[in-house]
Structure 1
Amino acid sequence: MLTTPIRPICLLAVTFTLCAFGVISSADAAEKRLNVLFIAVDDMNNDLGCYGHDHVFSPNIDRLAQSGTRFDRAYCQFPLCSPSRTSIMTGLRPDATTVYDLRKHFRKVLPDVVTMPQAFAKAGYFTARVGKIYHYGNPGQIGTNGLDDAPSWQVRINPSGRDKKEENLLTNHTPKRGLGSSLSFMAAEGTDEEQTDGIVATEAIRLMEEHRDEPFFIAAGFYRPHCPYIAPKKYFEHYPIGKVPVWNNDFPEVKQVPQWALASNKPWPWLGVNPQQLQEAQQAYWATISFVDAQVGRLMDALDRLELRENTVVVFWSDHGYHFGAHGLVKKQSLFEQSTRVPFIISAPGQKQTGTHSGRTVELVDVYPTLTDLCGIEAPRNLAGDSLVPLLNDPEATWNKPALTQTIRGPKMMGYSLRTERYRLTKWGDDGLELYDYETDPHELHNLANDPQHAELMKELSVKLTNLRN
């Protein structure tokens, strides 16, 4: 395990205003500041109990949702790790950062940008990262700093566990692909704490213990359920293989979509695996979700034990969604719902309502202005998102902002997708169009883009998409 201390950041004398929920009284506002526990997961879709999934066992994430607000229509900016994580941490859209791949660092384009943890550090917070928050190759760069951003943190911890050492024991149904994009898995021996994600939880808890008497922004970045899908054996027991669905290779809806919509999988469908192999990978993926859920439970239990729960904002998010069969797709990088939609929960001290859910369309770029708003921190003026505090106070509050996701095909073809509460409009270049009505077609089986009855709607949504891009 590598620990890299960053140069100390001087504490600034600042004046804090009351947080949005009135959780700090005027008498102690200067002394008692809200902490942030920032929990990231890698490649997790909405297959969670709190999102209504019947199969997946996720009691701890469900418990977190009961203590805060679950966002039912939350969307990433780019369904790929590095561009998405760059956007949430800078508060800027991919066209502003120009990060569209897994190699480019945003500081090459925006050397002076103030990231979210930097904003907190300037306000006197201790900032630390354990695990994957900015991008680095998973699993190839486990144990390293990867594509991290040193100015964001005072302490960086890069765990490496038993899963990394035992990669030779994996079952791999796509041996010609690198492990980071494979359908590979293992029901591991040993304990949770021996796995890389178990170490993430252990180290994040240690940091909370050591810094409980000062305001902190501690980020815990879990590596699962990203492939290879590795979890201790006990988590596979939740999912007997006979109860895992088997897909038929029958997708008539794909005849209605532009070629770019399916280009994230080569070969198509399912990267060339058969239905039984896909079923085995699905079982392992769900097992890793339950394993990560247990580590989230450890963090929440530590907050309670340290009596920090009433003074800590907890944020739970995934960098993007994930396909497992629909439209003949697996993994990410599409602009369909399963790839763009993310699990997203905020639990803040003093919320007027808890255990609520909001159906408003929100984006990961909204996280930065929300956390600075909650904690009375000064934020840069050029952030692309909006504070979600009104929705934390009232999940059904008026909210007219749609969500925008984009992805790239090859060096030039950029696809943009606008999501409102009811519709999705996707544009691939000038002539590749998709339109879905989730009220009548929740599984995106009918592309309405060329339906004359929807011509006016297409124009209206196109204007919104153009405005959001600009």
Structure 2
Amino acid sequence: MIIVDDLKPTLGTYGDTLAITPNIDQLALSGVQFDRAYCNFAVCGPSRSSFLTGLRPETLGILDNVTPLQSVLGDRITLPHLFKQNGFETIGIGKTFHDKDPSHEDPKAWNAYYKFQTTPLGSTGEQRNVTSGEFPWCYWQAAEGTNLDQQDGQVAQKAIDVIKTEREKPFFLAVGLHKPHDPFVAPRKYFDMYPIDDIQVPVLPKDWDRAFKHSLPGWHEVFDKMSLQDKKELKRAYYACTTFMDALVGQIIDALKESGQYDNTLIVFFGDHGYHLGEHGWWNKVTVYEEGVNAPFIMAGNSVKNKGIKSNAMFEFIDIYPTLAELMNLKNVPDYLEGESFASVVANPELSFKEAVYGVTMRGDMIGRMVKTDHWRYIEWDEGRSGRELYNQIDDPQEYENLAKSDSYYEEVMSRLSDSIREH
């Protein structure tokens, strides 16, 4: 299981013509690529806690990056813990749960866990903060040194060592790669692959404005002040970090092949949520728009008989837990899981799955809830008391025209979608 922080579908296999991601593109050709995979909360901590417990963020009680998993987990069994209970040797490397502090993790889930830090050399190099220092984290750095001078490079190397070590038990290996998460740091050679003149940023519709002040987090004004050069440099850095990550994924896949374990290993690769790179004038996550909640998801190797197939089946990240449990024939799967297994889609990618997916986000103490169907995305702020948003996913896939501001023509549609949110 390779979990990538803040990765949107900026991958060649997803149709991005700028991205240089040959290894992930090849992985997609070796399995099934899911184009409509949706996280349930577009922030690291809530998303990871949710899909690793199989519970919706509101059910679990983690709606921010501050609440520790251990404060709400109780006797629930996380996904890696279930593998451990089924006789697997479980190993975590890098960021799997939201690991700022051990209380955000599940120590019972692992036989071993490893973390690493960037070297002093890897912390040097040309850098610039594109917000003039207003956001200390929002800088890029074309770092000195090699891949191994970066934290992620060491994570990948440890994964390779684990893969090449003979063991008596089957293993569940979770590899958490941090990039392209901010700050946007990667070895210089990956920046050199993206000439700044090749970078284009989204152009917003004329006279467009966000639906409500709280449609985006309040700190969007800082991004509004960025120059075109700032935006191009930020996007370039994100892509450089993505290509760096792709190189590490390639090394891990190569290790599986060289050790003779590629054919008997199920490979699950995905981003923990999406990311905005200028869409809606926003350069971060924490939204319930398509850019925020859609993330790449690829399954290859063992249990995946179809190769090079792109599935249009729509699913939620809470569905990952029951799906892997079914594919790997795990016993004693908890009966409280809120997701559903899409193992049938893995076997036959042409099948459809869910008719709707759901997500939530927070603005201070106010919650925003979203439902997406083939035709619509509907958002309620504070159960509609602080506004509603409705977007036609067919005619307006970029989600710039809020139809909820129209007359009562769409009231029946919104009422039906609102009922659906309350049922979930």
TM-score, normalised to structure 1, is 0.85
Q: Which moved more, 1:346-355 or 1:418-427?
A: 346-355
Shift of residue 250, structure 1, vs aligned partner = 6.1
Give the corresponding residue for 1:465. Answer: 421
Which of 119, 132, 150 is the aligned partner of 1:162?
119
Give yes or no for the alignment of 1:104 onto 2:41: no
Query: Percent identity over the alignment?
Result: 35
Asked if the contact 1:251/1:328 (under 8 Å) is kept, the reply is no
Give the corresponding residue for 2:230. Answer: 277
Shift of residue 462, structure 1, vs aligned partner = 1.7
> How far apart are the structure 2 equivalents of 1:163 and 1:340?
35
User: What residue identity is the alignment partner of 2:104?
Assistant: L
> How far apart are the structure 2 equivalents of 1:271 and 1:121?
47
1:99-136 CA deviation, whole Å, 9 max, x = no partner? 11112112212321100011000011000111001113
> How far apart are the structure 1 equivalents of 2:349 and 2:51?
21
Which of 11, 15, 21 is the aligned partner of 1:58?
21
Give the corresponding residue for 1:305. Answer: 258
Give yes or no for the alignment of 1:243 onto 2:198: yes
Give yes or no for the alignment of 1:406 onto 2:406: no
> How far apart are the structure 2 equivalents of 1:309 and 1:192?
23
Give the corresponding residue for 2:99. Answer: 136
User: What residue identity is the alignment partner of 2:377?
Assistant: R
> How far apart are the structure 2 equivalents of 1:322 and 1:123?
35
> How far apart are the structure 2 equivalents of 1:373 and 1:132?
25
Give yes or no for the alignment of 1:94 onto 2:57: yes
1:444 is paired with a residue whose SS is coil
> How far apart are the structure 1 equivalents of 2:230 and 2:31?
38
2:117 is paired with a residue whose SS is coil
Which of 333, 347, 358 is the aligned partner of 2:286?
333
Runs (5+) with no aligned partner, structure 1: 1-37, 138-143
Shift of residue 241, structure 1, vs aligned partner = 0.3
> How far apart are the structure 1 equivalents of 2:106 and 2:314?
29
> How far apart are the structure 2 equivalents of 1:134 and 1:87?
10
1:70-96 CA deviation, whole Å, 9 max, x = no partner? 111111111111001100111111111
> How far apart are the structure 1 equivalents of 2:142 and 2:379?
38
TM-score, normalised to structure 2, is 0.94
Asked if the contact 1:131/1:222 (under 8 Å) is kept, the reply is yes
Shift of residue 392, structure 1, vs aligned partner = 0.9
> How far apart are the structure 2 equivalents of 1:458 and 1:360?
23
Asked if the contact 2:122/2:143 (under 8 Å) is kept, the reply is no
Runs (5+) with no aligned partner, structure 2: none
State the aligned residue count: 420
Shift of residue 217, structure 1, vs aligned partner = 0.4
Asked if the contact 1:244/1:282 (under 8 Å) is kept, the reply is yes
1:230-275 CA deviation, whole Å, 9 max, x = no partner? 11111112211001014557663325x122112x251426263222
Asked if the contact 2:121/2:149 (under 8 Å) is kept, the reply is no
Shift of residue 367, structure 1, vs aligned partner = 0.8
Which of 145, 149, 168 is the aligned partner of 2:106?
149
2:73 is paired with a residue whose SS is coil
Give the corresponding residue for 1:358. Answer: 311
> How far apart are the structure 1 equivalents of 2:103 and 2:180?
19
> How far apart are the structure 2 equivalents of 1:161 and 1:184?
16
Q: Which moved more, 1:50-59 or 1:388-397?
A: 388-397
User: What residue identity is the alignment partner of 1:243?
Assistant: D
Asked if the contact 2:389/2:403 (under 8 Å) is kept, the reply is yes
1:162 is paired with a residue whose SS is coil
Pick closer, same or farther for the CA change 1:109–1:393 going to 2, 3 Å.
same
Give the corresponding residue for 1:74. Answer: 37
1:205 is paired with a residue whose SS is helix
1:218 is paired with a residue whose SS is strand
> How far apart are the structure 2 equivalents of 1:146 and 1:226?
22
Which of 309, 315, 321 is the aligned partner of 2:274?
321
> How far apart are the structure 2 equivalents of 1:240 and 1:169?
15
> How far apart are the structure 2 equivalents of 1:254 and 1:213?
59
> How far apart are the structure 2 equivalents of 1:64 and 1:185?
28
1:416-437 CA deviation, whole Å, 9 max, x = no partner? 1111123211111123111111
Give yes or no for the alignment of 1:45 onto 2:8: yes
Shift of residue 177, structure 1, vs aligned partner = 4.6
Asked if the contact 1:417/1:427 (under 8 Å) is kept, the reply is yes
Q: Stretches of 4+ moved more than 6 A in 1? A: none
Q: Spell out the pairing of 1:381-400 with structure 2 (5 A cutoff).
A: 381-400=335-354
Shift of residue 280, structure 1, vs aligned partner = 0.5
> How far apart are the structure 2 equivalents of 1:57 and 1:70?
17
